[in-house]
């Protein structure tokens, strides 16, 4: 008579080994995830480790837009409905939802192609992009660096230390305006203006610090970087007038006023304000070419 073999229940030790196996697999998966770096200032670029994601890999323009939205969002996460309202405001919820799933699949193929080619991995298992509890998350389990966050953190550090070197480090991180290729996208306009204003304010503050230290030429260079993109920035023009006067360059100071007056007339049909005009009159009252006292601030 054949004896029936009974399956022995798994021991506590075996259960623990099984759980540890799953934990080890999950930890190994997380350890395989590489740093994601996203450049947004001066133009969009993305790297996963050393691998740059070339433009042709994105396939869909909205796929790039979703990554940009997540990179700029607090915590790098957005509710699914926010994404739909931003990227497809004209579509119904069903079609917009289908578009999201299509884009997520496309992005996962670009960010983590090795995970999607394995037989055991589903598109939803990407460690770089997740849809969980109606939230779309970018890099929830992997390191993420963006130049926008680095720039803002460096600006905060500069305001804390009040050292010219810290200001210069922050300014150097501003590689250009935010996402210039998306100039007419409504979702980027306000953020672009905020970052541009922060950049200009850093230059003005750096110029002030340098002037206090007597580094007038360096201060002139900083203010020149303000009036180049913002030729109607009257505060920067007046600062240049003052610095030229401190260096004894009265003609340069007067020429700076004339440039300010010309650009304001051309752009707005207005004259410089009273304080700028008063500084100009003070400079004009000196007939000798040597150093003159700086106009009052």
130, part of any domain: yes
E strand or H helix that includes residue 166: helix 164-173
pLDDT for 123 equals: 45
40, part of any domain: yes
pLDDT for 274 equals: 65
Mean pLDDT, residues 168-187? 96
Give yes or no: residues 136 and 235 share one domain: no
- Residue 184: CA atoms inside 13 Å, Cβ hemisphere, count? 0
Domain that holds residue 70: 33-142
E strand or H helix that includes residue 62: helix 61-72
Domain boundary among 123, 142, 161: 142
Give yes or no: residues 38 and 136 share one domain: yes
Domain boundary among 142, 164, 181: 142
| Residue 184 DSSP SS3 | coil
Q: What is the CATH classification number for the domain harbouring 60? A: 1.10.10.10
Least confident of 195-209, 213-227, 247-261: 247-261
217, part of any domain: no
Least confident of 12-26, 232-246, 248-262: 12-26
Residue range 120-159, pLDDT digits in tens? 444 445 778 988 889 999 999 889 999 999 999 999 999 9
274, part of any domain: yes
Provide DSSP, 227-283: HTT-TT-HHHHHHHHHHHHHTT-HHHHHHHHHHHHHHHHHHHS----HHHHHHHHHH
61, part of any domain: yes
pLDDT for 54 equals: 83
Do residues 130 and 152 touch, judged by C-beta distance below 8 A? no
More confident: 200 or 275:
200
- List the 129-132 sheet strands across, edge first: 77-79, 135-138, 129-132
Mean pLDDT, residues 178-205? 96
176, part of any domain: no
Provide DSSP, 85-121: HHH-TTS-HHHHHHHHHHHHHHHHHHH-HHHHHSTT-
**Residue 97 buriedness (CB in 10 A; 0-12 / 13-18 / 19+):** middle
In whole angstroms, give the CA distance from residue 222 to residue 218. 6
Query: Please, what is the average pLDDT of the chain?
Result: 83
Domain boundary among 84, 113, 142: 142
Place of tokens 């796929």: 63
Mean pLDDT, residues 180-195? 95
214, part of any domain: no
User: How many domains does the chain contain in total?
Assistant: 2
Mean pLDDT, residues 262-275? 86
The verdict on pTM exceeding 0.85 is: no
**Sign, CA torsion 57/63/68/73:** negative
**Cβ-proximal residues to 222 (8 Å cutoff; 6+ apart), any chain:** 203, 204, 206, 207, 210
């Amino acid at each position: 008579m054949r004896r029936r073999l009974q399956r022995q229940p798994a021991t506590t030790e075996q259960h623990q080994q099984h759980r540890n196996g799953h934990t080890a697999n999950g930890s190994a998966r997380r350890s395989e995830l590489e740093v994601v770096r996203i450049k947004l200032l001066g133009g969009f670029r993305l790297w996963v480790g050393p691998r740059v994601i070339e433009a042709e890999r994105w396939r869909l323009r909205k796929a790039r837009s979703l990554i940009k939205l997540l990179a700029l969002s607090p915590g790098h996460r957005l509710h699914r409905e926010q994404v739909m309202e931003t990227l497809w405001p004209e579509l119904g919820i069903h079609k917009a939802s289908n578009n999201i799933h299509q884009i997520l699949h496309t992005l996962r193929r670009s960010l983590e192609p090795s995970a999607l080619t394995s037989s055991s991995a589903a598109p939803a298992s990407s460690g770089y992009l997740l849809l969980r509890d109606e939230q779309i998350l970018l890099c929830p389990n992997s390191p993420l660096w963006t130049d926008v966050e680095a720039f803002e953190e460096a600006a905060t550090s500069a305001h804390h230390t009040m050292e010219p070197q810290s200001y210069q480090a922050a300014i150097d991180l501003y590689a250009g305006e935010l996402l210039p290729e998306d100039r007419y996208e409504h979702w980027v306009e306000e953020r672009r203006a905020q970052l541009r204003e922060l950049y200009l304010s850093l230059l003005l503050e750096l110029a002030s610090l340098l002037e206090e230290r007597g580094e007038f030429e360096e201060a002139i260079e900083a203010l020149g970087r303000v009036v180049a993109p913002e030729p109607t920035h009257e505060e920067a023009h007046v600062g240049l007038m003052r610095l030229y006067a401190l260096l004894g360059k009265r003609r340069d100071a007067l020429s700076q006023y004339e440039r300010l007056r010309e650009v304001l007339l051309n752009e707005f049909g207005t004259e410089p304000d009273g304080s700028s005009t008063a500084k100009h009159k003070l400079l004009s009252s000196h007939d000798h070419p040597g150093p003159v006292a700086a106009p009052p601030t």
